[in-house]
Amino acid sequence: MLAIKNNLMAANAARHLGRSYDALAKSVERLSSGLRINSAKDDAAGLAVRELLRADIAVLNQAGRNAADGISMLQTAEGAMSEVDSILIRMKELAEQASTGSYSSPQRTIMNDEYAQLSLEITRIAESTDFNENQLLNSTTGIDIHVGSTDMITVTPELMTATGLTVGTTAAIKETHTHNHSVASADDLYISIAEFGGTGTDEFEFRFGTLTTETSAIINIDLDAYAATGITLNELVEEINDAVEADGTRYAAATALYSSTYQSYTLQLQAREGGINRDLVISDTNTTTLANWNANADFTEATNGAAGTGNDLSTAAGAQAALTIIETAINAKDTYRSKLGYWMNRLEAAESVLGIQAENLQISESRISDVDVATEMAEMTRTQVLAQAGIAMLAQANSMPQMALTLLR
């Protein structure tokens, strides 16, 4: 029917042209974004699945980074352990050196001092080795490395301090006694003529050791030669140290101790070595003819002797004992270092698996979400043709009502 009020052909062509333009716009959007699903209306179910997959992929990628961080943490600990390894080897070398009888006591003391410093360095390394405030060599608290939503690998540090490895050393404390009598100057008379007895031997004695059977440790100081003149504090100190040296051990057992509080000098006696088995014992046996030399009343224990802990290389026997202890420490260190190794290997395997899992999920997500360029280009070409045809037909449809005007001429 030829009509001029309603151009139905133009309306129909316009409707189809609009649909072609909508399809063309959608193809352009997909090709420009690279995604088949750009909004929920494109594929509601596919969008829900895609977002779940994207969340899982993000978790897997972060878990992989967690594993990589864990490897870095363990590498920090392993690097520190390599230095501890070198120190322990040197400590064992020192123990072997001090074990032989060809060295003197002062030389062993030097070896023991180096050993003690190395021991302190092991502790310093252990205490300062951390990763993001996680103690790796000075703690037994487990560190959980999260490698998935519910999965984790637990790394358990161990005590790699000198104490933890039982290679520490604490210097023994020497027991000291001070005499209650004091003088203004160390050159003043410390025992006056009046304090020497008229009869008997004027001497006093002390010993190193707690056992009374240790007669060889008793030190006798004969002061008869000073009965007519008295003896100064400095002379007394010299006599005591000469007696100690004559006993076979070169050691300054006596000193003239100055007190800044009282601005005076008094006699101080000190044990040869630290430790409860090397106590300084002052005897009353031969002091009855000397006034002010009662051990219980006139001497005060200033410092109580305490044994050192850990290894002691100052004696050959101590050094030989240290060899076994250091060997055990090296084994403990190697065991922990091997743990660091297989933890790193496990984390590397976990990182690799997480990467593969994330890749596979990305493939799945791509199948759901990504646009098929070839298919979409074909669809776009089709809609372009339809749009061009629609434009042409709309132009023709718009000219149809003009035909009716020819009937009116």
Looking at the domain assignment, is residue 319 inside a domain? yes
The answer to whether residue 296 sits within a structural domain is yes
Q: Are residues 227 and 278 in the same domain?
A: yes
Structure tokens given for 108: 């062993």
141 and 266 housed in the same domain: no
CB atoms within 10 A of CB 170: 16
In a domain, 401, yes or no: no
Same-domain check for residues 143 and 270: no
Say yes or no: 266 and 341 in one domain. Answer: no
- 279 and 351 housed in the same domain: no
Tell me how many helices (H) and strands (E) the chain has: 8, 15
Residues forming a β-bridge with 301: 177
Tracing tokens 């030669």 back to the chain, one arrives at 225
Q: Residues 130, 67: one domain?
A: yes
Domain presence at residue 393 = no
CA nearest to 179, candidates 272, 301, 289, 276? 301
What per-residue confidence (pLDDT) applies to 40? Answer: 82
> DSSP labels for 66-124?
HHHHHHHHHHHHHHHHHHHHHHHHHHHHHHHHHHSTTS-HHHHHHHHHHHHHHHHHHHH
Together in a domain, 190 and 217:
yes
Domain count, the chain: 2
Does any domain span residue 120? Answer: yes
Based on the fold, state whether residues 212 and 286 are members of the same structural domain.
yes
What is the per-residue DSSP string for 342-395?
Answer: HHHHHHHHHHHHHHHHHHHHHHHHHHHHB--HHHHHHHHHHHHHHHHHHHHHHH
Residue 381: inside a domain: no
Q: Residue 53 to residues 33, 83, 188, 207, 265: CA-CA distances in angstroms?
A: 19, 46, 95, 84, 86
Q: What is the distance between the alpha carbons of residues 279 and 334, in angstroms, rounded to a whole number?
A: 40
Same domain, 81 and 152: yes
Whole-angstrom distance, CA of residue 104 vs CA of residue 249: 12
User: Do 165 and 279 lie in a common domain?
Assistant: no
The span from the CA of 291 to the CA of 356, in Å, is: 93
303 and 179 housed in the same domain: yes
- What is the predicted pLDDT for the residue at 246? 78
- Predicted pLDDT of residue 337: 93
In a domain, 261, yes or no: yes
Which pLDDT does position 336 carry in this prediction? 94
Is the same domain home to 96 and 162? yes
User: Which of 272, 288, 307 represents a domain boundary (last residue)?
Assistant: 307
The pLDDT, as a whole number, for residue 121 is 94
* Segments forming the whole domain that contains residue 342: 54-169+313-357
CATH of the domain at 105: 1.20.1330.10
Domain assignment of residue 191, yes or no: yes
Res 348: pLDDT: 93
The segments of the chain whose pLDDT lies below 70 read 1-5, 171, 197-200, 210-217, 248-250, 275-278, 283-289, 291-297, 308-309, 408-409
